[in-house]
Structure 1
Amino acid sequence: MDFLMEIKSKNHPTCSRMSFPSHLLWRLMALLFILAEISQRIIGCPETCACFTPSEVHCAFRYLSEAPRGINKAVQRVNLGYNSLSGIKMSDFSGLKRLELLMLHSNTIKTIEDSSFCDLASLQVLKMSYNKVEKLNKDTFKGLDNLVRLHVDNNLITFIHPESFYGLKMLQLINLEGNQLQQLHPDTFITLRFGQILKWSSFKTIYLSDNALRTLPAALLSGSSMIENLFLSGNPWSCDCRMSWLAEWIKKHPDSGVYHCIATNYLDADVLDFRVTVMPTDIEEEYINGIKVSYTLGQKLSLDCTPPVIGGGKAASFTVLSNSDAFLPCEATGNPQPIISWNRYTTGKMLVIKGKMGKFEVLKNGTLLIQRTNIKDQGQYICNAQNKFGSDKLVVTLSVVAYPTRILETRIRDLKVIAGKTVTLECRTEGRPEPVVSWILPNHTEVRDVEINQSGKYECIAANSMGADHRVVTFSVMKKDTVPKIISTSQYQTVVVYGGHLHLNCSAAGDPKPRILWRIPSKGLVDQSNRMGSSIKVLENGSLIIESVTEKDAGDFLCVASNKLGEDVQLMRVSISMKPARIEPKAFGKKQVLYGNDVKVDCVAAGLPIPEISWGLPDGTLVNSALQADGAEGDPFRRYVLFDNGTLFLNKVGTDEEGDYTCYAENKLGKDQMHIHISVISAAPHIQPPDLSQAKVKPGGNIRFDCKAIGEPKPKILWMLPSKDIIAASNERFLVHANGSLDIRNIKLSDVGEYVCMARSSAGEDTNVYKLDLDGNSPVINGFNQNRTVLKDTAIKFSRKLIDCQAEGNPPPKITWVMPDNIFLTAPYYGSRINVHRNGTLEIRNVRPSDTAEFICIAQNDGGEAVMLVQLEVTENLRRPIFNNPFNERVVTKVGGTAVLNCSADGHPKPEILWTLPNRTAFTGGPGTFGSRYLLEKDGTLVICNSTSEDTGKYRCAAKNKVGYIEKLVVFEVIRKPYILTRPKGIIRALSGESLFLHCLTDGVKSTISWSTPGGLILPHKKVIGRYNLLENGTLVVRETTMRDRGNYVCRAKNDAGEAVLAVSVLIVAQSARITNGPPPTLKGVSGVPVQLKCVANGIPTPDIIWELPDHTILSTTGKGQSLGKEHLHAHGTLIIRKPTIGHSGNYKCIAFNYLGRDTSTTFLTIL
């Protein structure tokens, strides 16, 4: 008999019974509940989605603003279309390595983080149509090694990185339609590359329609040997020579040819050939959206793409004078416009063009300009004109005419002049190229204020590439004494920055040569031989120099020039510019540095005089250059270095150096300060993965476990032994190396277990676990792979009982039986009533009631020991198992509830209860992988706590003893509360008279749906009552709505786990009938001429129109209209009188009405 049973956890104490204090019990229960919830979320379906199969997740139309969490890692298809996703993050699809189909269409995705799809190694189809993506970066699709189809159409893409699809070697289809692309890189569709030589594309179909492309690069399809479909419609193409490559490509890849259809099976094959010929079509002007190349509609399109042609033949010659400019013309025509370049015939190298300032320049029309020609420039020049359709060449021969230099003045001349006069020495020349004139002693042609020592021979030399000439002038100066005169000084007012360099000029003329003397602001006198300190000196030409000025150097400087005939003076005033100290910038800064690293902190200060820099440390100590210079060996200031520019250098910082540092800048006019906070970042210890973390060693052997740790500060290595003892140094059996490695010597059974390496520092701790086992099998008794086995056995009174203890192991174990009175019997042993055979079997003859006791078998070797405890019961009779309730059962509970599956049985000896779970796993109540949610009572009852939907299935209960075996079936079902998917955002409005559809779709859980109307009517599942019809999918249909149908409708979805309620507010829009276009009050007609009387009315619901004729006859618009004699009323309300007579004169009334009201319009018709 099947029946429904639901049990809550609070009514069953088994789920909470433990053997330790109650406060620990409740904490453990809470922890288990949290872990169960987390486990359910990880392996389950996202809360707002539907998962009809384990391999599919359907999240369309869920108003999601971000990707859902908790998607099963084994899912193969995910649909997130028609949501509100605004971006894709790296964590959204991490771990979904089996995903094959991902639908992200019809969202508002604008940004995609790089490598967001890197875990989707199995993805084959990615659909991102109808989003707002603006660009595709280099790593947008990184990791999609098996992607075959990519749909990014109808987005806002304006840029595609040239390597966006690089590495997607399986990608065959790309849809870029409906974007805003204006140009593409030549390597856009390259998916595999070997250097820059071999490029290959796997694309077979490319959609580029409906973008903003005007042209495509010629190399775009150079590696696309597998292309089959290319869609380019809907772009504003420029039909010029830039696109001529496409026409050539189409010619090289024609669709015409022979196609073979091959049909095969395992017996034979057959071939059918088809020849396809593609006929050329004319391109008319209306289809050309680039350069206008067709003038008459219907004329064939012909692009003028011509190779270059240089006018004037293939050779030309020109002659120019040396040192003049040469113009070598080279005008070329072609489409596109050719590029002009020039080469020297002798070298073959292209001329270096440096614009207007260089020797060579190419003008806009292709003419080569050679400036200031000489003999070396003559020869042949080659003009090259080139475009993508060809090239042309012109050879130009240039000749340069030159003649040698000649000086026009006399070759030798003697000249005498009085000292102080001005004399000009001329040296006019002629020649080609223009001669270069130079003078020897004193190297210039005009001598001013000549002196005695300027007497001598002056030689003029003129030369060009064709030759040279010279002229000698003998110059004699006669002496004349003059009074000193200061002829050149610095400006009257001079401003110098503090610490700067002061240079005051003062040169004088006179004969004999005047002596220069300076009086400085301190009233002291200095000249070239008398100085005041090392910073002030007077040069030979009379200039005064002060190397580093101070505020004391401000004032009046007097220059005095004197000789034996007199003196001359000149006053100059000097001001010193000073500024207070200031640090830039002054904002409070922060600086982070790793523990143990060096750090440099800058302090840039400006001011006049130059400020003195000092630093305040976090402990209040002040560091400056003087204190640093006085620091002794071992002084803490040795850790700090203060440079001359104010930079503070900290050597190997630690936590003590963390804090606020203050820079002080001070000079005579003021001081300033700046604060910087330094944070010391410690790197937590990290143990590098070892080569060996598990080892099996023979007894007495040795082993080494490596433990290398990194971190700042350097971590300390500790080892925790299996005995939980912690060691940091070596002892008699354990050797700890300096690098952290642990050597274990003379390994024993007690050494087996887990060794934990701990790396600790002030920044944290890291651990790594190593496992050591003995290389030898520990004993196994009767095939039970556990150290201790407890068995129950029975024996009939006065019979012979054999208890097996067959032990296996390496080395072979030694077997010992412990009797109830603590007597140890080692195999083999033979007594009067009890024997222990060599194979370990215990024999008891003539079993007595006193033999009801516990017998222990112990098997030992070097690898360990195993114990089997046999609880022997001596009985007089046996009975096969029987269930207290032998019928199959059906148990139903809700998610999170507690279920009790009954399986109590009786028999002698007491039967053993075994449960088989839905996944065919046997469960006996012992330690296993099911956690504490499965509990087995002593009477065989199976308790499932915190049930989940995955617990649903068929459970089989078995009871067995030595006499027999029985089994029963328990069907367990876990259901969850229904969830209503369709939830309107606001009030639903419907027009009066039309049908109203109210949806109430649930998430697939079995549930019963009912609706309640505003009037209190309740409609059960799949019911039709009057105008109300409740469909099978939960949708309520209200036909021919009226104002009384407005109000709140409530949908209830109910099952055994609970109820979900949805309230929907409905507003019925209605309007009473109103005539908007009626007949005039009076109307005249002519007999026999048709007359139309209009009557147009509005209203919700649509009003009906009737006409009342003069004889009170009624015509209605019901149906498709109505006719009565010569009168015909159309369905839209117009009354037509086909052949009116005088008898048709009278009052005609139009009446428009619906259930909310009525309106009338009357006209008087007169027929003449």
Structure 2
Amino acid sequence: ILHPIDKTKLFFCPGQTIKLEIILSKQDFQVGEEMLLVCKATKEGEMTWHKGGEEIDDEDIVSKLDYTTSKLLIKKASLSDGGTYTCKFESDDGHKADAQSVIYVYEGPSFHGTTTYHEFLEGADGMVPCLVTGRPAVDITWLKDGELIPSTPGVRVRKMSDNTLHIEKVKRSDAGTYICQAQIRGRAIYKQLPVSVVANAPPTVHIREEVKKVIAGPETNVSLLCLVDGLPKPNITWTLILRPIEADPSRHVFNSDHSQLTIQSVVRDDFGEYVCTAKNKIAENSATFMLHVFEPPEVFISEDQHSVNVGERVSVSCNVTGHPQPELHWINKRRDVAATKEGEMTWHKGGEEIDDEDIVSKLDYTTSKLLIKKASLSDGGTYTCKFESDDGHKADAQSVIYVYEGPSFHGTTTYHEFLEGADGMVPCLVTGRPAVDITWLKDGELIPSTQGSSFKIYNTRSLEHLLTFHYNLDDFGEYVCTAKNKIAENSATFMLHVFAQPGPPHYLTVTPGPTSVLFTLKTFPINGGAPIKSFVLQWRKSATDKWEETVVAASIDILAITNLKPYTKYTVRMAAMNDVGQGQFSMENTVRTEGKRNHMHPKGEPDSPALTTSQAVVEGNSFSVPLQQIENGGSPLLYFDVQYEQDTEESERKTLRLPSDANIVSLKDLSFGSDYHLEVRAVNANGSSIPAMFNFTIAEQPGVLPLSFYVSSRMTKGTVVGIVILIFLLVFLAVDATCCYRNRCGLLMAVAGKL
């Protein structure tokens, strides 16, 4: 990419300006690089290139691109190609111009034979040379961490006159990366060479404790710390009495650099001399620890546990050991025994000391014995042999004595009564040692206690084994609680009687009656173990209604729901009740009641007439709707009673009687634009039916529009606005005329004056 980077000259002529410029990519070229300069003018003319006052006429270097452009190309630049280049221009009409550009050609800088890695011993002097070549002259500087290293004499870290970096009495902080920077003098051309300097130091080892004393035990951990210094970082090894220590994760744990050894769960064999050795390529150093390991008194029992039956003999021995070996000192015997670690051994049960000499006896200075000649249930438990030395060290061991006895039942009730659905418990109170295993059987079959079973078996206070469940009729029967341990087996039998709510009525017949529904049972429902005392009868008209109900004694011969509406469809159902509660309902039945009857008229009133409203017709101010009678109540119809009225407060109801064989209701001379309410009743000798009702509307009279129509259609918003403006103008003219006549003022007066 070429850029105009040097002088540009402008020449002014009448009516025009000449501009001349040299375009090049950069000013600094390395030896061997291609060097291109382009001279461009804004007017046609001749161009020539000059250097040092002499014209360059070599056609391999200078070439004309067009009448306004010339280029100078040197394919491989040399140091002699540097200098000032001038482009001279002369137009056809004699106008001249020139432009200049200074070109720099350099070689290097290059690093030859410079070592980039140096190691020095801490405290010694270090010399780091930097060998650089380049032309023209090259300036050398040293940097560390972005900061320039001075060349001032006497400074500890400085640049020498021969460009060597001098480090006096090397410190660890002197380690790092140094930059040797070589720059072409006077130009922004430079190269950098990273040089690594490492400071070494022989290992040193320091310890805080030369001797450590610990007591062996599973909870005892000891750490040996070896403080090591040196560069490079020393490798640390540990030895114990001239043998290496392997890193056993279970006992010997090292930290990340092995400077700390932790011995876990110290044992007697861990005592001895531990040597920490630090070594790097410079030297080796070491330090020694002495670890003393003592064993506290430890008590051992001949057997951890004993199992005996009631009345059998049992004995337990207790022995004490330690390092140095302890000896027992029996306080209750009042004897002084020479020992390296005197102390007292005692037996305890339930936190209390056993001091009965018939049970506790001494065998020798380190052993004691516990003897129970005839074991009872109360002898079972945990026995502790305790040792306490005169210097305060304590130890103990335990032995568990199990005294066994076969299972036996206590205070168990063998007959139980429950209501179906209730949660009940059947206790089986058992004692025995070891703990007894309880199993329950019903009618000879094992009762499961797994999840999902209605039975649940669990223990309470270690004695009560309870069978619990949600009772139903199938749970009636014989239950056996069997208790078993390794001594013996025993059983107890229970009888359960379950009372339940009655079952649903299955063989049920539902028949309609006069404003009633009759229920007939072929057989009574299952009574649930208790007599059925009453029945619950429920009814409703639709699924969205609440159930209504009545309770009828089971001893009544006729089960019926009375006082219902005639000729109405109901959904009914029945449930039985006993002392436990109400049973399940029967299947729902749908039934339609009959009309009202009494002893004077065994036949009933007619059903409501049916109006076929989908075929109703309105013609002008006449209305008609088809009529049909489905149920006459067992007696012939006498007539149809028709009543209708306008849907207004002051309207008067009108009555019309139609013959019994009429099949249409026809109304004439009705009022236009009115709503009407129609009621039709069927009448026989027993009375009238519930009315059939219908609402209809007579439209407005054709061709006659109400006043509101005219107002609404003609008095538009624009009309109203026009009327308001007209009224305003009339009022304005009246006021202005008055002003003109009386006071000779106003608009009219002004117009008259101009005229």
Using CA pairs below 8 Å that are at least 6 residues apart, which structure has the higher relative contact order?
A: 2
Select the structure that is richer in strand: 2
**Quick check: which has more Rg, 1 or 2?**
2
Q: TM-score, normalized by length of structure 1?
A: 0.18
TM-score between the two structures when normalised by the length of structure 2: 0.26
